Amino acid sequence: MLKALAITNEDILHQVKLSCKIPEIIEQIIARKAIENAVAEAGIKVETEELQKAADQMRLINQLLNADDTWAWLEKHHLSLDDFEEIVYTNLLAGKLAQHLFGDKIEPYFFQNQLDYAGVVMYEVVLDDEDVAMELFYAVKEGEMSFHDVARQYIQDVELRRKGGYLGMVHRKDLKAEISAAVFAAKPPQLIKPVVTAKGVHLILVEEIIQPELNEKLRTNIISNLFSQWLNQQIAEISK
């Protein structure tokens, strides 16, 4: 058994090659340079106070509550303090660039795509047999059994069965088209007729329809998605 093992930079690079990570790393390098070029063109600057605040946030996210924690984290990731500052600086620049490019496009994008952000609170049981699904549908409608009874008897997944088939709030864009059409035509609370998809026959209880609201969380989500699309376009163009 080896008591000491020397690992060189060449060993690390060789392992990166063997793990087939080179294309992914090249894309990350291209993305970083694309951000740097766009930032320079836009004349975006970072103030000292902004940098300090971003560094504090990064420490908080990584639970680096004191100097010892920070140094241990840096050592674990083979980073210097300058490397840490560069990571913070790059992330801050990316955020400011995203705001510069898309800050005024969030509301138009939301209103053009607001149906995608509508949500539904729902319960679901997926069955293999349409006839069985219809029988259960009418049994629940007529009060012969509850939806919870159906979930307890027919859901195989233990955790989902314990929750009675509760899926929580699901966005419209995350539902299959045939399910989305049926669900958003419902008048909650309502058990809708079984819907057939490639996955099976869906027995769904619609508890609540949630209309989209452009809150801070959704603003962050939209600008992040728009920036990711822009970045992917830059990578694709440079990689040609």
Residue-wise pLDDT for 132-182, tens only, equals: 999 999 999 999 999 999 999 999 999 999 999 999 999 998 999 999 999
Could you give the residue ranges of the DSSP H alpha helices within 103-215? Answer: 106-113, 130-141, 147-154, 158-162, 177-183
Mean pLDDT of 222-232: 95
CA atoms within a 13 Å half-sphere pointing along the CA-CB vector of 85? 7
Q: Would the pLDDT of 3 be above 90? A: no
pLDDT tens per residue, range 65-101: 999 999 999 999 999 999 999 999 999 999 999 999 9
DSSP state of 114: G
pTM over 0.85: no
Q: Distance between CA atoms of 92 and 55, rounded to whole angstroms? A: 9
Question: For the segment 205-216, what is each residue's pLDDT rounded down to a tens digit?
Answer: 999 999 988 999
